[in-house]
Chains A and B, each alone.
Chain A
């Protein structure tokens, strides 16, 4: 068992597709949102969309931390590197996100900013140990999967009394984003965005557990199936959602039982709570200001909070006028409905954040799906 290849078997995928075809009610439509970029990527990369019945539509959700990071947050990182002389460390995905003035972290690096790509927050802390004369800042992004490692590194820096290390915290919360979508006018008021259920996060749920999704099933009557990131996992989860809809059920079901339980990872939750607390409000690209949707560093760890240390003030910056990332992140539009898609906005030269990370809906569709839009002509 390698936990990978077994979950990518093509024959089993076709069998799951046949089960789906047999069980969907041809008289109705099914719209499910896959919250995570990891699922968006799996659907596109493995051609799962082509195996789904025609009346099952998958809507890409906002669960891509690079995609929802607003321009103003990247600007803060660039400011630290270019104006404050800090060594700014961050994950590779963040480097190409478009910021103000035609800049990105990569372009700011070309202008002489000391910006470094790291694999782990622990690597950033090591850089601080190696360069005691420099201010080292880790630009931390990510959902609940990525938050506990950031918490560990802040706690470690405090224990060692490291004086030149801080974190620019942009960690966001999955349940708040799901609530925001369910309460959005498109879903709650106008019903212009039909939503029959959610394919729930895989790795986020390892950390937070499956119980936190229960209110979405009970209060909003939307089924949630927590799903692994491999193609067979996703297909089985969609089948489980179809069954719930057909039977009129709205429950939280767990397809990813090999890694997710109801309570989640208690050790990870404990260190997260020790270091972080809720922010009153945080701006998401596409969703706008969302109350209690992100984390900040607790006052006890203020010396390690780059926002306090450098007295940074967040300034909102509007997106490119024609960029549809906002509507795409809310599930209201598809990538191909954006004028910039595949013309001026490509993975090599992204205009909007959804084209940056391989998990972004636009990047996934550009890389794996764009030729599907063209009818096949036989001569």
Chain B
């Protein structure tokens, strides 16, 4: 039920709606819950609403941590 997917904002239609791209599929969603969202942001989409914005720097840091763990094992 809490299924939500990361999708890229490609167009802002008005203050509360945007078009996202999800692996080539485009869909209109509400951004009323993340008013600060901009084009090129990745948002987490749940039941047609963006509920949060993904932070690329933090995502890179998490991936780097996985890689670091891998190195220390090697």
Q: Are A145 and B62 in touch, CB under 8 angstroms?
A: no
Does B13 count as interface, using CB distance less than 8 angstroms?
A: no
**Residues from chain B with Cβ under 8 Å of A9 in the complex:** 66
Q: Are B67 and A12 in touch, CB under 8 angstroms?
A: yes
Q: CA of A128 to CA of B31 in the docked complex: distance in angstroms? A: 22
Q: CA of A6 to CA of B58 in the docked complex: distance in angstroms? A: 13
**Residue among B49, B53, B63 having the largest count of chain A Cβ atoms under 10 Å:** B49
Q: List 25 A-B contacts (CB under 8 A).
A: A1-B56, A6-B59, A9-B66, A11-B70, A12-B66, A12-B69, A12-B70, A15-B69, A37-B1, A65-B1, A91-B1, A123-B48, A149-B33, A149-B49, A152-B30, A203-B44, A207-B51, A236-B62, A255-B62, A258-B58, A258-B59, A267-B33, A267-B35, A268-B51, A359-B3
Q: Which of A50-58, A114-122, A189-197, A287-295 contacts B (4 or more CB under 8 A)?
A: A114-122
Does B25 count as interface, using CB distance less than 8 angstroms?
A: no
Annotate B56-74 by CB proximity to A: 1 below 8 A, 0 otherwise. Answer: 1011111101110110110
Q: How many residues of B contact A (CB 8 A)?
A: 37
Q: Are B1 and A265 in touch, CB under 8 angstroms?
A: no
Min C-beta distance of A127 to chain B, whole Å = 14
Q: CA of A93 to CA of B2 in the docked complex: distance in angstroms? A: 11
**Residues from chain A with Cβ under 8 Å of B55 in the complex:** 257-259
Q: Are B44 and A4 in touch, CB under 8 angstroms?
A: no
Residue of A nearest to B7 (CB): A3
Residue positions of B touching A, CB distance < 8 A: 1-6, 23, 30, 32-35, 42, 44, 46-49, 51-56, 58-63, 65-67, 69-70, 72-73
Q: Are A4 and B6 in touch, CB under 8 angstroms?
A: yes
Min C-beta distance of A152 to chain B, whole Å = 6
Q: CA of A269 to CA of B39 in the docked complex: distance in angstroms? A: 24
Contact of B1 among A66, A228, A233 (CB under 8 A): A66
**Residues from chain A with Cβ under 8 Å of B67 in the complex:** 12
Q: CB within 8 Å of B: which of A138-156?
A: 141-143, 145-146, 148-149, 152
